[in-house]
Structure 1
Amino acid sequence: MGINEQLRELEEKVNLGLKEAYRKMAEFKKKNNSPLVVSRNGKVVSIPADEILPTTNAKNEYVK
């Protein structure tokens, strides 16, 4: 396995991990009716729990 393949695989694992972390965070925020605070165009914005966007399913063999 070459270095490019290893880097591609690592990048895929990191991306899937980030998607899963976001999914869990969004689920937690909605369950607790807590706003999601983000930065948009350099300004702090609070998104109400009922407006948090649904996430993609990031499950595969890398995310346990």
Structure 2
Amino acid sequence: MTSKEKLDALEAKISKGLTIARKKMIAFKKYKNTPVVVSSNGKVIHVRPEDMEKEQ
């Protein structure tokens, strides 16, 4: 396995893990009925978990 193939495999695993973490975070925020706090253009904004699901 070349180093490029190793990096591609690692990138795929990381991407999959981030997707799973995002889904779990949205589910938790919906359960607790709390907004997701994100930064957009240097400003802190609160987003409803339902709106985050639409972006998937």
Same fold judged by TM-score > 0.5?
Answer: yes
TM-score by length of 2: 0.87
Question: Which residues of structure 1 form unaligned runs of 5+?
Answer: 57-64
Amino acid at match of 2:38: V
Question: Which residues of structure 2 form unaligned runs of 5+?
Answer: none
Higher relative contact order at CA 8 Å, sep ≥6: structure 1 or structure 2?
1
Output the aligned Cα RMSD: 1.6
The count of residues paired between Structure 1 and Structure 2 equals: 56
Quote the sequence identity (%): 41
TM-score by length of 1: 0.77
Query: Where is the helix percentage greater, Structure 1 or Structure 2?
Result: 2
